[in-house]
Each structure stands twice: as structure tokens, then as C-alpha cells.
Amino acid sequence: MSTPSLRRFRRTAIALATTVAVAVPVVGVVGVVSPTATAARGTAPSAPARLTVDDQARPMNTDETPRFGWLPQDRDRNEVQTAYKVQVRDAAGRVVWDSDRVASSQQSYVEYDGAPLAPGSVYTWRVRTWDKDRLVSPWSAYATFETGLGDDDWGDAAWIRRPPGNPDFSALSVVDGRGRVTGGNVTLAKTGQDWTDYVLTLDVTPVTRAAAVVFRAPDSSNGYMWQLHAGDNALKTHRMVAGAFPTDARRTVPFVIDTGVTYELGIRVEGQTFRTTIDGQVVDTWTDPSATGSRAGTIGFRQASGEVADYDDIRVTSLDGSTVLFEEDFAGGTDQWVRGTTTREADEYTLARTVVDVPDGDIVRARSYLAASHTAELYLDGERADRMTNYGYPGEGYYQATDVTDLVTAGEPLAVAAMLHWFSGGQGRAAGEPGLLARVVVEYADGRALTIVSDGSWKVRRGPYVLVGTRNGEGLYVEHLDGTAVQQIGAWRQEEYDDAGWSDAVVVGQHPVAPFTHLEGQETRLVEQVVHPERILVADDGTPVADFGAVIPARPGVHFDAGQAGRVVTIRASYGLADDGRASTATVDTQGTNMSFPYTQSAGEQDYQACGHLGFRYLEIPGAAEEITVDDVTATVVHSAYPEDGAATFESSDETLDAVWDLMDRSLRYSVQETFVDTPTREQGQFLHDTVNISYGLMATEHDRVATRQAIREFVLSQERYWRTGNDAGRYNAVYPNGDGKRDIPDFTEVVPDWIWRYYLETGDRALLADVYDNLAATADYVRRHIPSSGPTRGLVTQLTGGSGAYQYGIVDWPMHGRFGYDMTATARTTVNALGVDVLRKVALVAEVLGRPAAEVQSYDADADALADRMNATLRRPDGTYVDGLLADGSQSPHAGQHATSYAVAFGIAPEADLPALGEYLAGMGMKQGPMTAHFLLDALERSGADDGLLDLLTDEDDYGWAGWLADGGTFTPEAWELSGSANSASHGWGSQAAVDVLDSALGIDVTAPGAAEVTISVPDTGLTHASGSRMTQRGRVSSEWSVDGNDVTLTVEVPVNVSAIVEVPSEDGVTRHRVGSGTWSFQGVMAP
């Protein structure tokens, strides 16, 4: 058990003191050097470095008030910035803002305050600073930023798309002599639109889920549909009207239906009465009373996504059987059935293009502005210029700006082409509508400009993909590229291509237009890195299997030397290998996901490249009929871009801890693609708690600011959209954006205030706090509304409204076995209450920073204290440990899980005197929390002084946890320590927030004032004999290196300019604290025995 340090109050006491850094006490001071102390006059500062605008080195779509940041440089010790001067110039070199000398230590988020900036324009800026002696630095080198476009700045650019449908589509194929229909809406016979009364008989075999027969269908949107549903053991009847299924005709007739069993189905259609037989037995007779029912029409099939059925021996006769109207046994193929559809495909690819003449002259700048629903790639003369994704709701979307100067040649025709991929709604993706918006601006030295926009002159066609169906129930689609179609389409991205056979673009309207009413400049960007597998394995049957050595989020690619036209190679990814050496298709190895990438080859040499990504380690290429080497297989790894110099470092005397750090660091980096994701495979959705955990980690490990700020904005928008009134007020969606509308999880909402406060602590970005304060106040009121003033659970948060099923009133942890027996019958759950205390405390902090009325701040603090006091009065056992909550009658739950006590300690609720015993108790339990909440357990161990228990938890290979996961072969933090059932993700970044605990509690670097104006550096008493590392803060890189030799301690730290550091050095009496400023400092200490 180590001596208490200031670090222990990270979630509570330190946070209360961070608004004024000098308020942090420094006790037992020896050899203090104050950064503001009188000293000999030093040297002048060097030029500021690492200039950023909105936390980016060179943004291309800032708004009208960009915010500037820099790192002051000075070789003197204990230096601070006392003033700055910013100067901004336009492209002509004219000064548009000179801030003059501003007396301030502020070095981040300095708002532009000059003349209005022109949209879509380039600006340069520079800064100089003054030090404590009022000596001025040289000007920095000029940096660049560009303004983006407002909604009224797109000129004639219009949202376009292609006509819906697929003229070549057929869900019907012949398999084993029978017609097989795979999910693809309605397939109709070519004849029979004028049939009125008839008898239909056919053999029906449900293969997956259900089989549906259509009759009296004048077209694919109207008629009747009878469904044999294996899942529900029923005949289900439906009337189709304009593509919908009115509820008055939805009938369920019980009948046992099994998949794989063939049934003889008969339907007698006479007037508006329909008699149905199955295997000769009359099971239903029904007369449709509605006038909307069709009076004539043909027959067909209708399979929904994920449904497969076989049909055979189809016969249509007159009512008396004397006339045969139609027969089909599929011996002659599918020629009697309509191909093509005019309805929008659920997974729609569009190619679009135009050609323009680029005038001669000296081109000085060219920019593209691209927006899409959902994903678009832009090509200029065949070269990919940009790729962007927008999964938000229409009106909440993004556009992306890119420098394309090198791709435009003066005096030559320019082919502008794009591929648009829209794929309905799903987890992490609002459905919206297909749409592409493009604007390319080419500027010349003489002031001329050429503007190219998407509009009705563009040509469009369907992309070369086969609609297969979904990968799982989360809305991802299997991607089947047809290489023969690619070959037939030809070089469509090139200028000389003949697009005469393509359709005219369908114009939705010039931007802004419903539903695309608003766009924000996209700050995040995807990074792509092409890697090859470490080795090629060979399965028992000879199938080559590429092993990439670790789980990666990537788009697979394969080079074939000798493709065969029409051959389908089912490339398949997986997290694991089957016993026969093939890529495993087991649920746990695939996250219950169809991870195939089927590819139809063309003849000869060719390259396959996937459009979308999945997480995987292994990739098999079966049936290629040629040798596949490591050089033939690629994976384009994709993740969000992070600052180039922003990565934290860590190394220690414990190899296992170092491996755990690497696991967490890599998992965090790979957990953000277009948005934060729970997993890059199963859902690819921005789940709230996952996002909070990952963001918390990435702000420390990769200096992320941009992705976090975007995610905060999006979840605040979820509150604006869904959670503004009545008992809903103050909540946030559990996933956002998303395809399934309004849904929340109570304790997901409760972690938002701490997340936003952490963002402020990391950045010092006060403006964001001001933007979201009303939302946070609503969240505090949400908690308050659920604290009854009377009754068995008075004074405690009780049945916090929200969630459903296993999530109702609070998820606690996930999956269910990750709760380790937590008592979910408790109506006042300890975890939910502890989070409630934290909500109120964090909102109080935000209110104080923003200068809200004192009574308002005090009310939050008082309510938090009252709730904490009530928890301690009702939820503790005599030994000081916490039970899981109170039951409805006010009695204590008989169960006291690790979650309950760890939350009470981590959130500063447990009495100070109890902490040593509680820390020992928690450490003795090992790991009894899931990856979702394990960081709270680490916080509790650190706060209670159980630093040795913290190291054990991080490095124990024989228990659940990160080291155990590594020992079992894991390469990415998991959804659960033990995967099973639907909890099957071996790539869940939410277990990596603990990287922050490694930096804070094993290395000993902790940010303790907003924007890292102050940090604490210590030598944690974990049992390590050495540690070194660093982390980039808002004010520069802080590093620490220490060693313990017997009882002797040596510590060297580096502190950047404008930062005050409290350095905690072990001493015989406990801890000696030194306050130092910038520079390199060395200390000697003694570890107490």
C-alpha cells in the first residue's frame, strides 16, 4: 500500500481544484522552484512551434471563426508565456487580422477576431510570444488554413443520384434443378398481368427463415403475398399496396413450418376470396373486404433480406383446371421471369461522371468539396482524389475538402468521376437517401477561376456490384464485386470514355435542398495504410489463408494472375482458424457476421479491392486455382487520422505490462474509422459508452481532439433530436447516428458529463463547455428527477428511466456474464447512483467554469453530497463494502459485487478512512468486472493506494484481464473477457481506456488543470523498478523516466513551457512535492520501506 498522493483525487478532489491551478496545495515542499519566482533575466523565447487551427496542422474547411493554437518555445527553465500576437493574411498577403500584443498565457483556442473571412479561401498566419521577462520571440513560420463552404456557398452544385433499380437484377437462380430466390424483394412472371381468377400450385421449400409467394400482382408493388414462415410456424397473409403491407390484411394462420422441408402449396384465387391448401389440407379461406386489393395480376416470389427459399413444379390453371396458363420446372433456366427492378436497392452503388475543358493558364490552386450519403470516392482523370463518408441524418451531415491541385492540368480535358455507395440504415448509420454533391474550384494566377459542380449534365449508371444481402442483423451488406461487369463497363474514370449509354443524373436540387438541408465541414479524416500479411498458411484442403499477425480494421485486396471469367472466388475474413486450417465461420470467430467478400473474376490478370472494411486477422482465398503469395494479398488498414507527433510512449521493467500497453494503444488507434465504433466488424456503430471509453483513451494516447469533439457534437444532437421533453429530457441516444431511431441506456447517458469534463481538462476548450451546458444541465435534472423524497429508496436514484430488456434502468456492465452476478433486481443500483453523484459533480464544475450563479453551482454540489451521503448510509455493509443496491422494499441486496465498491471508491463516495481496506478488498477479488468498466476498478485501486494491486490486475495472465487475454492469443481488446453467444467481439476498443491508468498510475503523469496548465508527475509504488514514457498535452510533451534501485529512487522529468508541474518524489516520510516549471529536472528520493 503506497502513501496517498494528489493523483488519487483525479475524478473528484483534483477536478474541484483545477479551475484555478494555484489553488492546488503543495505540502511538504523541498527545493521548490516557482515558475513565477523572481530570477535572473533569461534569453528571449524561440519562435513558437506546432501551429494549429482548430487542433489541426492545416485544416481545409474551417468556419468563419477559426481558433489558433501553438507551443511557445524557450530554453530557459521555469518559463511561461505572458503575451502573444497573432497575424493573419489572405492569399494576396494582405493582413486581415492583427491581434496586437495580448497579455495572456492562452496558447490554444484563440479565436479569430478580424475582418470576415471569405469562404473557400486560403489564409496564412503566424504568431509570436513574450516570456516572463517580457522578452519577445521571433515570428513563427507561416502556417496555412483554409475556410470551408457555408450552405449558401455551393453555387450551382446540386445533389444528384441515379434512377433507382437494377435492370439486370434477378433474385432468382437455378440450384439443384429448382428455382432459388435469395432476398431481393419481388420477382414476377413475365406473363399474366391480366389474369383474374385462377389456381396456383407449387412446391415450396423454405431454406432460411421464410418463403413467400406473390399472386394477383399487376406489378412488383401491388398484389397479395402469402408467406410460409418457419420462425413463427405460420402461414402469414399480406396485401401489397404501393409497396406497403396494410395491417388489416396481416393475418397469421398457425401451421408448423420447418426449413429444409418441401410443402405443396395451393392457392385458389376467385374474386376476392382466397382458399389456401398445404399438402392437400385446406388451412385457410379468406375474403378480402378492402377495395384496395388488386383484381388481376400474375404470380411471383418475394424474399426479404436474409430469406432464402426454393420453388419448383409451378402450375397456374383456370379455376376448372381445363386451361393451363403457366408452367415452370426450371429445366430451361429462368427465362420466364422478369429481370430487373425499378425499386431502390437496399445496397446501392452508383457511378457518375462528367468531362470539362480546363482553360490554359497558370493554375495556382485547386480544391474539391465533396459530400455524400453515404460514401463517395472522387476521381480526377482516373486518379482517386478523395474519399469521404457521411453517416449522419440529413441536415446533420458533413462535406470534405481536399487539395487536388496536382491532379488538374491546364489546357486539357478533365474527367471528373465519382462512385457513390448508399446502403440503407444500420447501426451507426442513418438511412437518409442516396445523394452526391461535388464542387471543384480551379484558381489561376491571373484571378480567373473554373468551377465544376455536380448537376443534371452528369451521366450515371449502376455500379458493378451484385446485391447479396446483409452480413448480419446490424445493417452491413455483403460486398460482391463483379469483375466481369467491371471489365464490361471499362475505364469509366477516364476522359475518353464513351458514356452515351449511361442515364442522365437525377437531380434532387441545388444545395441546400430537402432532405440535405445543412452540411458541416468534416474535421476528421481517414488514414489508409496498405499492409501485406506476415505469412500465407495452407489449410488441409490446400486453401491459402493469409495471416496478418493481429486483428486489423481493413479492406482486403488480392492480385490474381490468371482469373477465369465468371468464376466466383469467395474471399473470406475471420478472427480465427477452424480445425482444418480454413478461416473459421464460427460465431465467436466472426462476431456472428458473414465476413465473406465474394468476387466474380474476369479473364486474365486482375486486382480485387474491397470497397468497405471489416476487422479481421485471417483472410482465405479459396478456389483461385493459382498460387497466392504474401505479395498478392493486401489489407488497406483504415483508422482516423491523429496528430503526427501526438502519440504517447511507455516502457517499463515489466514486459507483460509493456505488452498490455501495446495492446491498449493499438486497440484505441484502430477503434475510430468514419466514427468511433464499438467494433469494426459486427456493428461499426458509434455506441455512446464505447465512444466515451475510447475517446478518453485517445485523448491521452494519440492527442485526439478532433474526433472527440465531433462525437460530442453528434451525441448532443441526439439529445436535441430525441430527448428534449418530459421524462425524456436530458438523455442521449445509446447509438448515434443510427438506423433504428430513439433508444437509450441510462448509465450510458450518465457518463457523458465526465467525458465532456475530461475533454475540457485535456484541452482547456471552454467554448465547448458553453455550447453544451444546457444539455449537461438537462442530464443533471434527469438524474434528480429519479431521486424520490420519500419511500423505501428515498434519497437514492431509483429505476433511472431508460433502456429495455437487459438494459432497463441501467446496463451496469456488458455482456450479462460481465456483471459477475450483479443484482439486477435492485431498484436503486449502486453503480447508477455513483454515476449520478458524478453527473452532479461534473455539471457543478462546468457551471463554475462558465461563471454560472453561485446558487446554481452550489445546488449541484449539495445534491451530489446528499446523494453520496445517502449511499453511504444505506448501501454499505458493516465492513464498509457496498452492496449492489436497495431492493424495492428498501432492504439491501444480498449481493455485493466488485462493481458496487469500485464505483463508490472511484467516484469519491467512500469515506476516506475506509479507502485502504477497500483497496485491499478490491485487489483481493481479482478481475470481476468486464472490459467496459474495468478502468473504474483501476481508478479505485489507485485512489485507495493499492498500487501494487493495480499492477497485478494489469499483468495477471491467470485471471480475466488484459494480460490473460494476451496470453490466450488476443491482439485487440475484447467485448468480454470470455466471448460467447452475442458477446463475440474480439475487437472492442472500450476495454482500452485503461491506457490512461497506465500513464497516470504506472508511469505517473497526470493532467490536473485544464489544458494541462498543471500536471502531476510521480513515482507510483506499484512494484515496478523502472518506467519511462511521455504524453503530448495541450501545452506540449511531458516526459518522465524513473528507476528504483533498492530504496533509492532517481527521477528525471521534462516539462514544456507554460506548464506548472507538481513532482512527487518518494521520501522516508512519504512524499516530497516540488513545484517546477519548464525544463529538464532531476530528483533523488528514497522509497519508504
Amino acid of residue 146: E
- Residue 541 DSSP one-character state: T
What's the CA gap between 133 and 16, in Å, rounded? 31
Residue 600 neighbours by CB distance under 10 Å: 20
- Residue 520 DSSP one-character state: E
pLDDT at position 27 is 34
Q: Is 916 helix (H, G, I), strand (E, B) or coil?
A: helix
For 177, the grid coordinates are: 434443378
Smallest Cα–Cα separation from 521: which of 87, 111, 153, 144?
153
pLDDT at position 12 is 38
Q: Which residue has the cell 516502457?
A: 651
Band of the pLDDT at 659, cuts 50, 70, 90? very high
For 957, the grid coordinates are: 495472465
Give the CA dihedral 944, 949, 955, 957, nearest 10 degrees. -130
- Give the DSSP per-residue string, 512-544: SBTTB--EEE----EEEEEE--SEEEE-TTS-E
Band of the pLDDT at 171, cuts 50, 70, 90? confident
H, E, C per residue of 436-472: EEEEEEEEECCCCEEEEECCCCCEEEECCEEEEEECC
- Residue 362 DSSP one-character state: -
Task: Say yes or no to pLDDT of 130 above 80.
Answer: yes
CA 632 to chain CA centroid, nearest Å: 30
pLDDT at position 26 is 36
What's the CA gap between 689 and 681, in Å, rounded? 18
pLDDT at position 243 is 86
Q: Which residue has the higher pLDDT, 233 or 16?
A: 233
Smallest Cα–Cα separation from 169: which of 184, 181, 154, 189?
184
Nearest-5° angle of CA 914, CA 919, CA 923? Answer: 155
Residue 727 neighbours by CB distance under 10 Å: 12
Task: Say yes or no to pLDDT of 31 above 50.
Answer: no
C-alpha to C-alpha distances, 375 to 27, 420, 473, 757, nearest whole angstrom:
56, 6, 21, 33
Task: Say yes or no to pLDDT of 23 above 50.
Answer: no
pLDDT at position 184 is 64
Amino acid of residue 741: G
User: Is 962 within 8 Å of 971 (Cβ atoms)?
Assistant: no
What's the CA gap between 226 and 211, in Å, rounded? 8
Taking residues 760-770, report their average pLDDT.
99
Each residue's pLDDT tens digit, 1042-1065: 999 999 999 999 999 999 999 999
Task: Say yes or no to pLDDT of 183 above 80.
Answer: no
Task: Say yes or no to pLDDT of 2 above 50.
Answer: no
- State in words which class domain 649-1003 has: mainly alpha
- State in words which class domain 47-146 has: mainly beta
H helices present in 441-522, as ranges: 483-489
What is the CATH number that goes with domain 526-640? 2.60.120.260
Smallest Cα–Cα separation from 1035: which of 22, 135, 17, 109?
109
Q: Sketch the domain layout of the chain as residue ranges.
A: 20-37+1011-1086, 47-146, 158-164+345-521, 172-328, 526-640, 649-1003
What's the CA gap between 460 and 482, in Å, rounded? 18
- State in words which class domain 158-164+345-521 has: mainly beta
Q: Angle 766-784/706-722 helices, nearest 10 degrees?
A: 40
pLDDT at position 170 is 82
Query: From 2.102.10.10, 2.60.40.420, 2.60.120.560, 3.40.50.720, which CATH number describes the 172-328 domain?
Result: 2.60.120.560
- What percentage of the chain has pLDDT greater than the value 70? 96
Smallest Cα–Cα separation from 267: which of 203, 200, 193, 312?
200
What's the CA gap between 800 and 177, in Å, rounded? 58
Smallest Cα–Cα separation from 17: which of 940, 841, 914?
841
Task: Say yes or no to pLDDT of 118 above 90.
Answer: yes
Task: Say yes or no to pLDDT of 708 above 90.
Answer: yes
What is the CATH number that goes with domain 20-37+1011-1086? 2.60.420.10
Each residue's pLDDT tens digit, 966-1016: 999 999 999 999 999 888 999 999 999 999 999 999 999 999 999 999 999
Mean pLDDT of the chain: 95
For 159, the grid coordinates are: 445533389
Q: Which residue has the higher pLDDT, 15 or 512?
A: 512
Task: Say yes or no to pLDDT of 684 above 60.
Answer: yes
Task: Say yes or no to pLDDT of 39 above 70.
Answer: no
Smallest Cα–Cα separation from 650: which of 1043, 1028, 1053?
1028
DSSP run (H or E) holding 678: none
Q: Is 924 helix (H, G, I), strand (E, B) or coil?
A: helix
Band of the pLDDT at 36, cuts 50, 70, 90? very low
What's the CA gap between 648 and 63, in Å, rounded? 30
Give every CB contact of residue 1085 below 8 A, 6+ residues apart in sequence: 1019, 1048, 1049, 1050, 1051, 1065, 1066, 1067, 1072
Same fold, 47-146 and 526-640: no
What's the CA gap between 398 and 371, in Å, rounded? 6
Task: Say yes or no to pLDDT of 1 above 80.
Answer: no
Amino acid of residue 46: S
For residue 9, report the phi and psi dihedrals to the nearest 5 degrees: -105, 25
pLDDT at position 281 is 97
- Residue 23 DSSP one-character state: G
Rg of the chain over Cα atoms, rounded to whole angstroms, equals 32
- Residue 1003 DSSP one-character state: I
Band of the pLDDT at 190, cuts 50, 70, 90? very high
pLDDT at position 467 is 85
What's the CA gap between 227 and 225, in Å, rounded? 6
Q: Which residue has the cell 488441409?
A: 540
C-alpha to C-alpha distances, 572 to 483, 528, 599, 604, 619, nearest whole angstrom:
17, 21, 10, 22, 6
Task: Say yes or no to pLDDT of 13 above 50.
Answer: no
Determine how β-strand 273-278 pairs with β-strand 143-146. Answer: unpaired
pLDDT at position 167 is 85
Each residue's pLDDT tens digit, 403-453: 999 999 999 999 999 999 999 999 999 999 999 999 999 999 999 999 999
